[in-house]
């Protein structure tokens, strides 16, 4: 009865609040009424037991306890799922099949940005060539007046209009997700015919839709997931997985080490500690790496210039080649392991991952997987680092956190 009283009270409160919002503001001069189109977006299939469980959780502090029947029904309705992360050539990016409004598109899941944008029928035929295309389906609702425009660290970018449509990732369904349909994309994207767009997994605070910012897929489905988290298990030269709503303990070794996340810039930001170059006794180690982000949408590992320099001192013939835009070295040189301390635990990037790829067909010079973070302003733990780890992007506790384990 305590809880039912609370629910009645809060519902009554909500009702009065709604009434006051509906009364037109005094300053709307001249017109008797006005319309506000409410387009439902950022929603999942409604479920009573899940909503009830949320209410019990909300009032757990004052003794509310969900009956087992509610817990069981909510658990049965909660979502979880897994999708393959397929590497492009040289593991430049990893693409995941996603059903957007009835069409399967291969999207780059990006924990460094927060827009779900796709190649669309609104683009010119030549720009569409070779890509799978989103055609707003009959179930799609155009968000009138909404637009988006995103640019990335490498100068690439895209822009367009916005629809609310059904999006399914590994069986996890957002019944109405903001789908940003491109009208124009930069050359880097038209050239990459494997890539049909991006699915942002950073915080929705950096979503670029205007005038009304939209939520990421994860934020849209979060409340319906068994656990409010997703995990990233990228691999070198083979398919990995993104899992939503659960942790698969067969995907990592040892234990998961959690660190707090600073989401003030909209990224999965964390603090990295000391580092060492090489394995066994031939290691050098030095100061703290400092603030960093975990970014699946960035290919390489961008470290403070002093750290990158200390690393390449251990690689025969390594030098900065300004034409290539970073450290290169003879492909025949061996590259040592790179070890970084996170949450007080050591995590190793195998040296072979740091020989990224030959700079040209001759195969003489190779481009480094570790590069300086010059001009970026923070350290980016991109795919070179992530493909050695199992990472939990966790919003299941009061504040966001990252969990790292070796895979």
Ligand X SMILES: Cc1noc(C)c1CN(C)Cc1cc2n(n1)CCN(c1cc(N)ncn1)C2
> Binding residues for ligand X, per CB under 6 A?
92-93, 108, 110, 112-113, 152-154, 156, 188-189, 192, 195, 198, 295, 297-299
Residues ≥6 apart with Cβ < 8 Å to 261: 268, 269, 270, 399, 400, 401, 402
SS3 call for 230: strand
CA gap 372, 397 in Å, rounded: 34
CB of 5 to ligand X, least distance (A): 48
Alpha helices in 238-301 (DSSP H): none
Q: In the complex with ligand X, which residue's Cβ is closer, 136 or 382? A: 382
Question: CA 167 to CA 178: how far, in whole Å?
Answer: 9
β-partners of residue 302 are 371, 380
Which is nearest to 260 in space by CA: 249, 251, 271, 252? 271
Q: For residues 117 and 244, which CB has a smaller minimum distance to ligand X in the complex?
A: 117
Q: Phi, psi at residue 36, to the nearest 5°?
A: -120, 110
Shortest distance, CB of residue 178 to ligand X, whole angstroms? 18
**Annotated catalytic residue 27:** no
End-to-end CA distance of the chain: 49
Is residue 160 within 8 A of residue 122, CB to CB? The reply is yes
Which of 165, 196, 233, 295 is labelled catalytic?
A: 295
Nearer to ligand X, 195 or 231 (CB): 195
For residue 22, the minimal CB distance to ligand X (Å) is 41
| Helix or strand holding residue 308 (H, E) | helix 305-312
**Residue 156 or 324 having the CB closest to ligand X:** 156
Please report where in the chains the tokens 């050591």 appear, as a residue.
346
* CB-nearer residue toward ligand X: 93 or 225: 93
Can 262 be counted among the known catalytic residues? Answer: no
Q: Which two tokens stand for residue 353?
A: 């991952």
Instruction: Return the active site residues.
Output: 110, 295
């Amino acid at each position: 009865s305590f809880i039912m009283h609370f629910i009645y009270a809060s519902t009554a409160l909500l009702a009065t609040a709604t009434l006051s919002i509906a009364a037109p503001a005094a300053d709307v001069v001249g017109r008797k009424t006005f319309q506000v189109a409410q387009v439902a977006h950022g929603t999942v299939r409604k479920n009573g037991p899940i909503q009830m469980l949320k209410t019990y959780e909300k009032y757990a502090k004052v003794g509310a306890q969900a009956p087992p029947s509610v817990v069981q029904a909510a658990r049965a309705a909660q979502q979880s799922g897994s999708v393959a992360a397929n590497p492009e050539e040289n593991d430049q990016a990893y693409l995941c099949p996603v059903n957007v409004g009835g069409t399967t598109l291969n999207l780059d899941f990006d924990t460094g940005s927060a827009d779900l944008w796709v190649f669309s029928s609104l683009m010119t035929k030549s720009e569409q060539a070779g890509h799978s295309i989103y055609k707003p389906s009959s179930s799609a609702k155009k968000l009138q007046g909404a637009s988006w425009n995103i640019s990335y660290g490498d100068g690439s970018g895209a822009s367009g209009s916005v629809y609310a449509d059904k999006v399914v990732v590994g069986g996890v369904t957002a019944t109405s997700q903001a789908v940003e349909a491109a009208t124009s994309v930069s050359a880097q994207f038209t050239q990459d015919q494997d890539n049909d767009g991006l699915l942002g997994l950073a915080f929705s605070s950096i979503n670029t839709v205007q005038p009304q910012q939209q939520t990421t897929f994860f934020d849209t489905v979060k409340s319906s997931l068994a656990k409010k988290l997703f995990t990233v298990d990228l691999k070198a030269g083979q398919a990995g997985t993104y899992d939503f709503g659960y942790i698969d303990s067969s995907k990592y070794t040892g234990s998961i080490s959690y660190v707090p996340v600073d989401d003030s810039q909209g990224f999965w930001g964390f603090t990295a500690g000391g580092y060492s170059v090489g394995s066994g006794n031939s290691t050098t180690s030095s100061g703290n790496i400092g603030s960093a982000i975990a970014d699946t949408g960035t290919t390489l590992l961008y470290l403070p210039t002093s750290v990158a320099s200390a690393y390449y001192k251990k690689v025969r013939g390594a030098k900065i080649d300004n034409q290539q835009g970073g450290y290169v070295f003879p492909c025949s040189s061996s590259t040592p392991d790179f070890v970084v301390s996170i949450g007080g635990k050591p995590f190793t990037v195998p040296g072979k991952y740091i020989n990224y790829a030959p700079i040209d067909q001759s195969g003489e010079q190779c481009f480094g997987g570790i590069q300086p973070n010059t001009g970026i302003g923070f350290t980016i733990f991109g795919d070179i680092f992530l493909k050695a780890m199992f990472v939990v992007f966790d919003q299941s506790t009061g504040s966001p956190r990252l969990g790292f384990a070796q895979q």
